[in-house]
């Protein structure tokens, strides 16, 4: 398989061309023939025209890639090595949502042939690939896993918006159902990952490794978020405390903040779900999720308290928020916790205005029914929130903010991007996590 792929006698099929699948397809296309499949026809048409809707790789990379972009299943049948890179979100009840895993596995089942290999990259709990996905492929194809085709798992570790820790610079965990599939999968990924590959002992080990990576980070941020809330009650600046504590060599460098997105804000629920299925109620992971899930509401309520303290009216007041994406320098608005701030303020009758040059206004309107404000300078605001630390906001200064502020200006600088002492000198009521 590897020999035929590298000689371009066979091709790789990428199922799902979002923030994970597209960069993967681009990298693979430098060494192999690649077919990129997505059910979103608008997205496919954009890629065919050389336009990167994810802002992850850039238009030029797409135009020069030679990838066969398609939403036609018939085209995918030409592939022999399939990579599934679809989202694994959660439901409103915080349970795993396997809609995309099911539909993509059915696509693979309709396209797979004897001798082919399927690798899943979507984040799941241990056992999903072999116990959930394989039967779907078998039912759709009429083939038998192990006899007719092989299966593997290689968790995505991409960091959306990060132009330093790119896909090729992160060690890739790979796994296979047996030695033959593992060696082939490792060889294929080894061609594009400069940082090298790590062969996991089994598919379940690789699945578990991915889901605990994000759970660990979630717990650490939750700890700092809880510390921040307690320190605020003591009127102690969190950043000052973290700087002091950070002088010890083994102190972990985590900062408080909003934890959203499709990875850290979601993946722990997969582990919690599987643990509960096995009769174990997660305490630490669940508590960490609860803390981080509520940080947006906490920020919104703290702003209301501050406005009351300064005798500002609440109902009918104007608040401007810089940033709606779930993280800095990304256009991804999925599961953003900024929306919790917005909803909290709106519940009090506040007029909320949002500006974000990174986010796509049509996506924000469709997902959250919110209009982005392009001409936010036209109004005066009772409070301003810097929610997302985009590079495009780095030029913000106190003079600019004061021009659009009413009396007794309030600035909630969630990540502490501006100088607190300078704000206090200018009589700005400054707050940060």
The set of catalytic residues is: 263
Q: Are 157 and 210 in contact (CB under 8 A)?
A: yes
Distance, CA of 170 to CA of 190 (rounded, Å): 12
Distance, CA of 222 to CA of 237 (rounded, Å): 17
CA 184 to chain centroid, in Å, comes to 29
Question: Please, is 7 exposed, middle or buried when counting C-beta atoms within 10 Å of its C-beta (0-12, 13-18, 19+)?
Answer: exposed
Distance, CA of 118 to CA of 112 (rounded, Å): 9
Phi/psi at 432 (5° precision): -145, 160
- Where do we find the tokens 């608005």? 333
Q: Which tokens go with 24?
A: 């993967």
CA triple 298-303-304, angle to 5 deg: 100
Q: Where are the beta strands (DSSP E) in 126-284?
A: 150-153, 172-176, 197-199
In which element (H, E) is residue 186 found?
helix 179-190
- Which residues are CB-contacts of 190 (< 8 A; sequence separation ≥ 6)? 196, 197
Sheet holding 383-386, edge to edge: 351-355, 318-322, 383-386, 410-413, 429-431
Q: Are 288 and 294 in contact (CB under 8 A)?
A: no
Task: Name the 3-class secondary structure at 71.
Answer: coil
Distance, CA of 264 to CA of 273 (rounded, Å): 15
Of 336, 337, 329, 377, the closest CA to residue 353 belongs to 377
Task: Name the 3-class secondary structure at 380.
Answer: coil
Sheet holding 68-70, edge to edge: 68-70, 33-37, 11-15, 79-84, 117-120, 150-153, 172-176, 197-199
Question: Please, is 310 exposed, middle or buried when counting C-beta atoms within 10 Å of its C-beta (0-12, 13-18, 19+)?
Answer: middle
């Amino acid at each position: 398989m590897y020999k035929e792929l590298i000689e371009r006698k066979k091709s790789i099929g990428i199922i799902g061309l979002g923030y994970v699948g597209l960069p993967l397809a681009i990298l693979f296309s430098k060494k192999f023939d690649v077919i990129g499949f997505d059910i979103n026809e608008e997205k496919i048409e954009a890629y065919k025209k050389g336009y990167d809707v994810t802002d992850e790789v850039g238009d030029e990379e797409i135009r020069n890639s030679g990838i066969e972009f398609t939403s036609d299943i018939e085209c995918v049948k030409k592939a022999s090595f399939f990579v599934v890179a679809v989202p694994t979100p959660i439901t409103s009840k915080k349970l795993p949502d396997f809609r995309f895993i099911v539909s993509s596995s059915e696509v693979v089942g309709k396209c797979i042939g004897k001798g082919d290999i399927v690798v899943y990259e979507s984040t799941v709990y241990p056992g999903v690939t072999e116990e959930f996905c394989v039967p779907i492929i078998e039912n759709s194809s009429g083939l038998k896993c192990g006899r007719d085709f092989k299966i593997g798992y290689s968790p995505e570790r991409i960091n959306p918006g990060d132009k330093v820790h790119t896909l090729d610079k992160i060690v890739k965990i790979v796994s296979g159902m047996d030695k033959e599939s593992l060696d082939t999968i490792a060889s294929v990924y080894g061609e594009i990952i400069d940082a090298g590959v790590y062969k996991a002992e089994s598919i379940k080990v690789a699945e578990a490794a991915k889901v605990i990576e994000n759970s660990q980070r979630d717990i650490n941020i939750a700890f700092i978020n809880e510390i921040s809330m307690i320190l605020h009650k003591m009127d102690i600046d969190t950043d000052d405390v973290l700087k002091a504590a950070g002088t010890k060599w083994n102190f972990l460098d985590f900062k408080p903040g909003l934890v959203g997105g499709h990875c850290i804000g979601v993946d722990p629920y997969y582990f919690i779900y599987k643990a509960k299925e096995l009769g174990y109620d997660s305490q630490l992971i669940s508590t960490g999720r609860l803390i981080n899930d509520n940080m947006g509401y906490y920020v919104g309520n703290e702003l209301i308290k501050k406005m009351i303290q300064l005798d500002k009216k609440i109902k009918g007041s104007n608040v401007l928020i810089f940033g709606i994406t779930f993280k800095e320098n990304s256009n991804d608005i999925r599961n953003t916790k900024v929306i919790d701030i917005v909803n909290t303020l709106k519940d009090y009758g506040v007029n909320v205005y949002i500006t974000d040059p990174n986010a796509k206004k049509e996506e924000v309107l469709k997902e959250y029914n919110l209009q982005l404000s392009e001409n936010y300078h036209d109004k005066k605001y009772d409070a301003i929130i810097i929610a997302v630390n985009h590079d495009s906001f780095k030029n913000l200064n106190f003079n600019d903010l004061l021009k659009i502020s009413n009396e007794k200006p309030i600035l909630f600088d969630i990540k502490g991007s501006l100088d607190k002492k300078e704000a206090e000198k200018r009589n700005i009521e400054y707050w940060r996590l």
